[in-house]
Amino acid sequence: MTLAELEAAKAVSLEEIEKAADAAALEALRVKYVGRNGSIPALIKAMKDVPKEERPAFGKAVQAWKAEVEASLAAKMSSSPAAKAFEGDLTLPGRWFGLGLRHPLSRVIEETAAIFGKLGFTVADGPELENKFNNFTALNTPAHHPSQDRTDTFWFGEDCLLRTQTSPVQIRTMLGNKPPVRVICPGRTYRRDTTDATHSANFHQIEGLYVDETASKPVSLADLKSVLSYFAKEMMGDGVTVRFRPHFFPFTEPSVEVDFSCHVCKGKGCPVCKKSGWIEVAGAGMVDPRVFKHVGYDPEKVSGYAFGFGVERIAMIKYGIPDIRWLYENDLRFLRQLG
């Protein structure tokens, strides 16, 4: 084939494509020209028989032909009535594949981070496999404390354990930062509990820690209460109030247990709050001076509060979930109800 013949063949092919009546005709032309055994690939294969000096110009012309055929096939395909018909009846409703949902535990964690984010708290993280210093010693928990028992904690040797609380992230945060610190730390925690409707060996907590220079602003129990009251209203709804009950934690002094007024019965008493009008949701208190010493903070110069929420607990009361195990079974019939 000479160059002139090639140009003539190209003109014919483009005209054929232009005149093709339907998608089947276009497909036949695609096979005829650019298909595996089409005339253009055949020309490319036969290139070796073209005299050497003509080869570059001829090769270029063949490639140009191929590109033009492909471009006009594509253009014609998308504008042909056949292609339009292929789109189907545009008035039909689309097929619904369902919308994915965030897991209730993720939702509680994300909402908590957003609420505390508005108060200037950032999210800190720590490993689930901890050492004894971060999980117990620095948190002023003596070796004889029951929480250190082999029967309560998953130990891996003398100094390695699955964290029993998110409080070790307090220690990591203070060791790595100078005050002021203002963090929340959501994460998994582990205890050797037998699983039942309200217990799980693996659950989630959200720790909170605020420490500041006492000279600039002494941090008080009243600050803690106001922050937790704000959180309660944002998370559970207007009208929910917070109550502190005296308690003991080795790493806070004074320590409190935190109750929310029951958002279901508004404090009158119902099955959700076991008729008391209050629901226990967190442990909290003012950071113990001994903890400050362990992380190299001067207890004379800084003060702060800490709190720890159970994520499952918040999810269960917020969404009315009676059994903690439902949160781990991934049963779509249950999860879809929380959409």
Is 185 near ligand PHE (CB under 6 A)? no
Nearest to 197 by CA among 313, 337, 104: 313
Contacts by residues 222-231 (CB-CB < 8 Å, ≥ 24 positions apart)? 223/305, 224/284, 224/285, 224/286, 224/305, 224/307, 227/119, 227/305, 228/258, 228/282, 228/284, 228/307, 230/115, 230/119, 231/112, 231/115, 231/116
Shortest CB 307 distance to ligand PHE, Å: 5
Nearer to ligand PHE, 29 or 258 (CB): 258
Shortest CB 192 distance to ligand PHE, Å: 14
Who contacts 316 (Cβ-Cβ below 8 Å, separation ≥6)?
A: 322, 324, 327
Contact with ligand PHE (CB under 6 A) among 104, 126, 179, 285: 285
Write down the residue that tokens 């483009």 correspond to: 14
Listed in sequence order, the DSSP H helices in 53-191 are 55-79, 81-86, 104-118, 132-135, 168-176
Which of the stretches 150-158, 236-244, 277-285, 315-323 binds ligand PHE when contact is defined by CB under 6 A?
277-285
Give, as one character, the DSSP assignment of residue 155. Answer: B
Which of the stretches 211-219, 263-271, 272-280, 302-310 binds ligand PHE when contact is defined by CB under 6 A?
302-310
Shortest CB 164 distance to ligand PHE, Å: 7
Is 306 near ligand PHE (CB under 6 A)? yes
Is 252 near ligand PHE (CB under 6 A)? yes
Phi/psi-derived region of residue 190, left when phi > 0, alpha when psi is between -120 and 50, beta in every other case: beta
Who contacts 267 (Cβ-Cβ below 8 Å, separation ≥6)?
A: 241, 261, 273, 277, 278
Is 126 near ligand PHE (CB under 6 A)? no
Backbone angles phi, psi at 216, to 5 degrees: -80, -35
Is 181 near ligand PHE (CB under 6 A)? no
Shortest CB 283 distance to ligand PHE, Å: 3
Contact with ligand PHE (CB under 6 A) among 240, 283, 292, 314: 283
Contact with ligand PHE (CB under 6 A) among 136, 203, 210, 249: 249
Shortest CB 224 distance to ligand PHE, Å: 10
Is 165 near ligand PHE (CB under 6 A)? yes
Nearest to 131 by CA among 89, 188, 172, 180: 172
How many residues touch ligand PHE under the rule CB under 6 A: the total is 11
Which of the stretches 52-60, 115-123, 236-244, 305-313 binds ligand PHE when contact is defined by CB under 6 A?
305-313
Which of the stretches 60-68, 86-94, 220-228, 306-314 binds ligand PHE when contact is defined by CB under 6 A?
306-314
Sign of the torsion angle spanned by Cα atoms 173, 174, 179, 180: positive
Contact with ligand PHE (CB under 6 A) among 40, 284, 311, 324: 284
Residues making contact with ligand PHE (CB under 6 A): 165, 167, 207, 249, 252, 283-285, 306-308
